[in-house]
Amino acid sequence: MLSVVGLGYNVSGQVTPETRSVMLGADRLFYLVTDPAMAAWLRSLKPGAISLHDCYRDGESGIDASNAMVTRILEPITRDLNVCAAFSGNPAIAMHTTHEALRRTREQGVAAHLYPAVSFEDCLVADLGVDPGQLGRMMYEATDFVLRPRPLDVTSALVLLQVGVIGERLWRDGADANRQGLRLLQETLERTYPAHHEVTLYRAAQLPIADATVVRLPLGQLAEGPVQINSTLYVPRLDRPLRLPEMAARLGYRPPPVPR
């Protein structure tokens, strides 16, 4: 059996009781986390827990690293062991490794389950004080967004993932963003949004004693902004959508009062 779990952030602070139980019950626990304190906590929880970070190698393809992780995770399953793979945040979002491991496990006729977790976006809406349930939001991976332009609904917010590594196919260590990719992203966004439109660079807090990284700046300064590899970009909406009078009437909404 394969269980894929998310750990959220803040070391063990966002780990659910269900996730903790799944990890403790596994014969093999693999993990890939963004913070050394989280790794240390996992090893204290489950001695013998195995890091997947060494699958990454400078100058090699990220997809090769992902496939290497999948192979390592699946090997004990062929020996009928109960395997758990744990990842920072929510492994259901923008994680090729987790979805490929689940797919290949199920192809072998073995049970596989993905457990919900606190994601970067859950932290983002809490830290920025925004409510995507009111007017909606769009979310895309940044490289795909640049390569495949699409019509944007400017009445909804836009969330772009991995803005620091746009166009990069090879893995590299470090925190510096790809500035050429950022310039292309800024150019793409400025076809729709004015250069003075305020956007936010965001990183969830990694430790309970740390704050989230929140940097607000005009879109026209994005390419030279303090972007890191794991930064997320939040672009607020431009306009409030109009309410259709006919639909409002059919739903029983009263028209707003006319201002005097």
- DSSP class of residue 34 equals S
Return the pLDDT at 222: 96
Q: Is 205:9 a contact under the CB 8 Å cutoff? A: yes
Instruction: Assess whether 141 and 40 both reside in one domain.
Output: no
Within-domain flag for 186: yes
Return the pLDDT at 256: 63
Q: For position 55, which CATH number holds? A: 3.40.1010.10
- For residue 13, how many C-alpha atoms fall within 13 Å in the half-sphere facing its CB? 11
| Long-range pairs for 52-61: beta carbons < 8 A, 24 or more residues apart | 52/85, 52/97, 56/171, 56/173, 57/171, 58/170, 58/171, 58/172, 58/173, 59/170, 59/171, 59/172, 60/170, 60/171, 61/169, 61/170, 61/171
Instruction: Assess whether 103 and 59 both reside in one domain.
Output: yes
Domain boundary among 114, 140, 164: 114
Return the pLDDT at 209: 80
Q: Measured between alpha carbons, how far is residue 51 from residues 39, 47, 55, 61 in Å? A: 8, 12, 9, 19
Return the pLDDT at 189: 96
Instruction: Assess whether 94 and 134 both reside in one domain.
Output: no
Q: For position 162, which CATH number holds? A: 3.30.950.10
Q: Is 185:160 a contact under the CB 8 Å cutoff? A: yes
Tens of each residue's pLDDT in the chain, 260 residues: 999 999 999 888 999 999 999 999 999 999 999 889 999 999 999 999 999 999 988 777 888 899 999 999 999 999 999 999 999 999 999 899 999 999 999 999 999 999 999 999 999 999 999 999 988 999 999 999 999 988 899 999 999 999 998 987 766 666 578 889 999 999 999 999 999 999 999 999 888 788 899 999 999 999 999 998 889 999 999 977 677 778 878 888 876 665 55
Return the pLDDT at 208: 79
The rounded distance, in Å, linking the Cα atoms of 162 and 174 is 14
Domain boundary among 63, 94, 114: 114
Q: Is 205:95 a contact under the CB 8 Å cutoff? A: no
Instruction: Assess whether 162 and 228 both reside in one domain.
Output: yes
Within-domain flag for 125: yes
Instruction: Assess whether 160 and 86 both reside in one domain.
Output: no
Instruction: Assess whether 110 and 124 both reside in one domain.
Output: no
Which residue bears the tokens 């439109």?
197
Within-domain flag for 213: yes
Return the pLDDT at 5: 97
Return the pLDDT at 31: 97
Instruction: Assess whether 229 and 125 both reside in one domain.
Output: yes
Strands 198-203 and 112-114 come out as: unpaired
Within-domain flag for 248: no
Tokens at 130, concatenated: 């925004």
Instruction: Assess whether 74 and 146 both reside in one domain.
Output: no
Within-domain flag for 255: no
Instruction: Assess whether 9 and 91 both reside in one domain.
Output: yes
**Total domains in the fold of the chain:** 2
Q: Is 134 exposed, middle or buried (0-12, 13-18, 19+ CB in 10 A)?
A: exposed
Domain that holds residue 65: 2-114
Domain boundary among 90, 114, 138: 114
For 199, other C-beta atoms within 10 Å of its C-beta total 23
3-class SS of residue 84 = strand
Instruction: Assess whether 142 and 42 both reside in one domain.
Output: no
Which of 191, 175, 180, 260 has the alpha carbon at shortest distance from 226? 175
Instruction: Assess whether 85 and 152 both reside in one domain.
Output: no
Within-domain flag for 85: yes
Instruction: Assess whether 138 and 69 both reside in one domain.
Output: no
Within-domain flag for 198: yes
Return the pLDDT at 219: 97
Q: Is 217:199 a contact under the CB 8 Å cutoff? A: yes
